[in-house]
């Protein structure tokens, strides 16, 4: 059996930056085990498999795999898969097109707005299928710091302290005092096993207010070795969940707010994620993620 695949770089407007994504088309005949094996072969943060939608009004059913596990939802696969689907349905690859791509994911139906313009990089955005909710179980600061190779005094800034939030996927959010400390962070395998492994969250998301670009609001890194991702260049699902952290500590006033998150710089894969938050009555009412993607390769895989 031969299947067509594509790769894209997501959350970027330039080739060979951002977060790479593989998309395998017409994957209805593949078993879960085969999908997992293909994801391990690509060895990217995520691989998406297109299948026929259960509802013919939708664009596709998609399943998302890291090299180590299937996950119900992820941001950069959603953005990349939607942009690829829009390009495939466009009658002319050089034409302007605005469309809604409906993707059936394990978390539910995710509708993605895609904008294609001649001589411009494709852009997509979607409303989060679930709003972030705070969870309570989190290792002590000392253990979290040791797990990422930092000192306890380097954890936290202003009123920000480590928290745990989930919006389909659960993450530990760890504020770091400086950009310099962010650059030194590393997974310490021994301490990671003690503090993080088996705790039920996808990974540890580090963030600080110091940024590389003045147009960014936060600098981030995300470690998830337990699902086969040593470090992720851009994590859309974590950015969705991070909206809960922002509202908890920054208490945004009612209205529409936009935050730019930069990630992947320590890996040589700079990425830019657009995060929009709608607040009403002091609570999050909607979260939207946006980003660009560029197509890189197309080929055939024999299974």
Summary mean pLDDT of the chain: 96
Respond yes or no: is residue 134 known to be catalytic: no
Residue 254 has pLDDT above 90, yes or no: yes
Burial of 13 (0-12, 13-18, 19+ CB in 10 A): middle
Distance CA 206, CA 41 (A): 28
Q: Which residues contact 21 (CB under 8 A, 6 or more apart)?
A: 7, 8, 9, 10, 44, 45, 46, 47, 48, 76, 77, 80, 81, 293
Q: How many CA atoms lie within 13 A of 250 on its CB side?
A: 18
Q: Hey, is 225 helix, strand or coil?
A: helix
From 2, 33, 41, 46, the catalytic residue = 46
- Tell me the pLDDT tens digit for each residue of 66-119: 999 999 999 999 999 999 999 999 888 778 999 999 999 999 999 999 999 988
Burial track 252-267 (b if 16+ CB lie within 10 A, e otherwise)? beeeebebebbbbbbb
pLDDT bucket at 160, cuts 50 / 70 / 90: very high
What pLDDT score was predicted for residue 78? 98
Residue 101's nearest CA partner among 117, 92, 118, 88 is 88
pLDDT at 92: 81
Burial group, residue 168, by CB count within 10 angstroms (0-12, 13-18, 19+): buried
> DSSP letters of 52-116?
--SSTTSSEEEEEE-SS-EES--HHHHHHHHHHHHHHH-SSTTS-EEEEEEEEETTEEEEEEEEE
Token pair of 175 as six digits? 């504020």
What are the extents of the domains in the chain?
Answer: 2-130+292-302, 133-288
Q: Report domain 2-130+292-302's class.
A: alpha beta
CATH architecture classification, 133-288: Roll (3.10)
Average pLDDT for residues 265-269, to the nearest whole number? 98
Q: What pLDDT, on a 0 to 100 scale, did the predictor assign at position 246?
A: 98
pLDDT one-digit tens code per residue, 232-249: 999 999 999 999 999 999
End-to-end CA distance of the chain: 5
Task: Indicate the Cα dihedral angle 146, 148, 154, 159, nearest 10°.
Answer: -110
Task: Provide the whole-model pTM.
Answer: 0.95
Specify the pLDDT at position 95.
80
**In CATH terms, are 2-130+292-302 and 133-288 the same topology?**
yes
Query: Cα separations (Å) of 29 from 42, 51, 159, 227, 289?
Result: 19, 9, 51, 25, 31
């Amino acid at each position: 059996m031969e299947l067509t695949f594509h790769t894209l770089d997501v959350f970027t407007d330039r080739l060979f930056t951002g977060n790479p994504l593989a998309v395998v088309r017409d994957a209805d005949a593949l078993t879960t085990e085969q999908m997992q094996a293909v994801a391990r072969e690509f060895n990217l943060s995520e691989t998406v498999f297109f299948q026929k939608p259960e509802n013919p009004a939708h664009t596709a059913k998609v399943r998302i795999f890291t090299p180590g596990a299937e996950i119900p939802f992820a941001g950069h696969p959603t953005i990349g898969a939607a942009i690829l689907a829009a390009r495939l349905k466009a009658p002319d690859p050089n034409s302007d097109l605005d469309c809604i791509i409906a993707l059936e994911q394990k978390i539910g139906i995710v509708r993605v707005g895609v904008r294609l313009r001649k001589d411009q990089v494709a852009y997509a955005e979607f409303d989060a299928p679930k709003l972030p909710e705070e969870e309570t179980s989190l290792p002590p600061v000392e253990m979290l710091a040791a797990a990422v190779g930092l000192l306890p005094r380097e954890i936290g800034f202003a009123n920000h302290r480590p928290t745990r939030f989930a919006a389909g996927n659960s993450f530990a959010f760890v504020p770091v005092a400086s950009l310099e400390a962010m650059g030194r962070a590393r997974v310490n395998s021994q301490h990671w096993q003690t503090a993080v492994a088996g705790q039920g969250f996808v990974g540890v998301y580090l963030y600080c207010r110091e940024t590389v670009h003045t147009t960014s609001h936060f600098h981030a890194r995300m470690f998830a070795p337990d699902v086969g991702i040593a470090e992720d260049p851009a994590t859309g699902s974590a950015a969705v969940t991070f909206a809960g952290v922002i509202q908890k500590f920054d208490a945004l006033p009612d209205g529409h707010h936009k935050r730019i998150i930069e990630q992947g710089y320590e890996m040589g894969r700079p990425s830019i994620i657009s995060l929009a938050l709608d607040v009403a009555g002091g609570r999050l009412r909607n979260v939207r993620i946006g980003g660009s993607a560029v197509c890189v390769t197309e080929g055939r895989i024999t299974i």
